[in-house]
Chain A
Amino acid sequence: MTWRYRFAFLGIVFLFFLVVCRLFYWQVVKAQELSLIAQNQYGTTITLAPQRGEIRTSDNFPIVTNKISYLVFANPKDIVNAGETSSILSSVLGIDLASVSADLSLDKFWVPIASGVDLSTKQKLEKMDLQGVGFDSQYQRFYPEASMAAQLLGFVGKDDQGNDKGYFGLEGYYDRLLKGKTGLAIQVHDAFGRPILAQMNQATGETDGSSLVLSIDRSIQFLAEEKIKDGVEQYGATSGMVGIMDPKTGQILAMAAYPNFDPRDYQDYSEDLYRNPFISNLYEPGSTFKPLVMSSALDAKVVTPQTKCNICNGPVSVSGYDIHTWDDKYFPNTNMIDVIMHSDNTGMVFVAQKMGLDKMLNYLGKFGIGNTTGIDLQGEVSASLKPKNQWYAVDLATTAFGQGISITPIELLDATAAIANGGVMMEPHVVSAVEDSDGNTVGIPPKTIGSPISSGTAKAMTEIMINAVEKGEASWARLKGYRIAGKTGTASIPIQGHYDPTQTIASFVGFAPAEDPKFVMLVVLNRPTASIYGSETAAPIFFDIAKSLLGYYGIPPEGD
């Protein structure tokens, strides 16, 4: 009989083993899948899409925020008269009838018809009470100021998975902060589908995006956009841009370019317009570069403001190239103050030769030339300076008057701001604070990135630039009663190895009031046709904006 007990025992053990194996399969191998099925039975898993953070100007006005729009969807199996419904949806939503008809004929329970539908359209459709048509609310970017600061802000598009993603400008640079974190919530409900209080929301990880508070002053930005648009049209330029910065903090007060695009319909514009030219376009700065070289030479003590130029009585020959002045007028024994006032190329060659290559490269590096400035915008570029062994005598000479060297407008603006700020250079910044979804604000303090020149040199250079404004070729446009430091620039555009004398980049850089600057500004016009000179195109735009800014800051004129 013993074998029968043993057989029965082994049989039971085997059956028990099978049960254990099955339990292991359900509870370990298939645990996650079954858990999800169970969750779907007693609750609904909802994906909590975070709201993208706002972008606000310095007056806390949301220049970019979110608005509710609607996704119109249909259940083709519920639709009674597909032809009539297609026709109504097509006419109200403004989409192709064939496309709607095709969607409604699909053998599905849910088909999207149109997204981004506004409230009034939704209400219009609701009144028609179309069976089988529903709405789902969704958030989309809203720009109360339309295309203002478009290239500075960037836009929100989609990534590979169809999720929102910021591109260009602030949307691109601060995408991770702005987009927040997606979360999951389980809505537990009873047999009748009503939510149960005990375990209502097991939300995990959802955090709305942080908001950015900019240093951009909305009034100044508006003004700059209007003026640069008018300027481009008035002077027949192909494009134009203006950047305004607080030299003491590095905060950008305005940055405008024309033409620009509308971020709501960015797909309708050329991709070339997406880039912010103020940080992404390299150009030869021409004479606006002279104050940087002259202040370097003054700081290195190779010249003083009264140093006489002994090669300025005619064209200067360097390595077989003849270097002329812009108007072919020459001033023998001119001093450094007048070299800047006359925008004298031969005088700048004299300065460069006095400095030598080592000092020139050292100071250009200190002014940040050849490097990105670190501005918090996506898309900043820079052209590195050539290695020292590739510099020829003529390169040193032409660099002194801003030719043969490529920089971005933001590099020039930031370097000039160092002169305005007593020789101290600040990192340019657009965002002044970040506010998280709970309302906690973290300020971004100004950052000093160097002191390329001494305060004494900066003061001397400021006086030289004031003299250039008051007595130089742009003096006709100056503002009487204000001491404004500035410099014009007219740079020929290199085309296929030579400079086209009829096509220029006209610019003006300066700051005001000179003693205690509230702003430093750079105006650049690309290929103006009314006049090729910066003194006749960019300078009047500069002074026009400066006049409004000085009034805005409540700074009255003094004397003449």
Chain B
Amino acid sequence: MKKPALIIGSLIILVLVLSVVRIFISNQVSTSGVVLSAIQTEAASVKTENTILAEKLYTESALTNIDSEAENLGFVTPKSDFVLSGQVSVAFKQ
């Protein structure tokens, strides 16, 4: 008779302990929604900022933009190319 009572007692204690654990965890988790919401907002904001910066970067580094900037700064396309066709002597023997 003693053994079943021990098992039943243990089960009741286990149920009580698990209930307490559950209450504790629920209590911890219940406030995480607010944190989660803030994280989501932050993530969305960072993503938006990243996209806007990328847009600026791509616009600035576009060849069409560089070409017009170069023109504004006075750069011109060379009319002829200069090619080194052979090894240039460091000094000529007289």
A222-B64 in contact (CB<8A): yes
Q: What residues on A are CB-neighbors of B32 within 8 Å?
A: 197
CA distance A522 to B46 in the complex (A): 47
Interface secondary structure of B, over-half rule: helix
Roughly how many angstroms separate A200 CA and B37 CA in the complex, as a whole number? 10
8 Å CB interface, A19-74 against B: 61-62, 65-68
Contact yes or no, B58 A146, CB < 8 A: no
Closest to A221 in B: B63
- A275 touches B (CB below 8 Å): no
The answer to whether B85 touches A194, judged by C-beta atoms less than 8 angstroms apart, is no
Q: A195 is contacted by which of B33, B54, B62, B63 (Cβ under 8 Å)? A: B33
B19 sits at the interface (CB 8 A): no
Quick check: is B36 within 8 A (CB to CB) of the other chain? yes
Q: How far apart are A137's CB and chain B's nearest CB, in angstroms?
A: 7
In angstroms, how far is the closest chain B Cβ from the Cβ of A486? Answer: 20
Contact B40 A65 (CB under 8 A): no
Q: How many of chain A's residues touch chain B, expressed as a range?
A: 20 to 34
Contact (Cβ within 8 A) A196 B33: yes
Asked whether A148 is an interface residue with its Cβ less than 8 Å from the other chain, the reply is yes
Q: Tell me if A219 is interfacial: C-beta within 8 Å of chain B.
A: yes
Within 8 A of B (CB), among A168-203: 189-190, 194-198, 200
Task: Note all chain B residues with C-beta closer than 8 A to A445.
Answer: none
Contact present for B33 and A194 (CB under 8 Å)? yes
Do residues B61 and A61 form an inter-chain contact, with CB atoms below 8 A? yes
Chain A, residues 121-145, CB within 8 Å of chain B (1/0): the string is 0000000000000000100001011
A157 at the interface (CB under 8 A from B): no
| Contact A197–B29 (Cβ < 8 Å) | yes
In the complex, chain A residues whose CB is within 8 Å of the CB of B52:
67-68, 119
Asked whether A148 lies within 8 Å of B64 as measured between CB atoms, the reply is: yes
Residues of A contacting B83 in the complex (Cβ-Cβ under 8 angstroms):
556-557
A39 CB to nearest chain B CB (Å): 18
Q: How far is the CA of A421 from the CA of B37 in the complex (A)?
A: 60
29 A–B contacts from the bound complex (CB under 8 Å): A65-B54, A65-B58, A66-B51, A67-B52, A68-B55, A144-B58, A144-B59, A144-B61, A145-B62, A145-B64, A146-B64, A148-B63, A148-B64, A190-B30, A190-B33, A194-B33, A194-B34, A194-B37, A195-B36, A195-B37, A195-B40, A197-B29, A198-B29, A200-B36, A218-B63, A222-B64, A551-B81, A556-B84, A557-B83
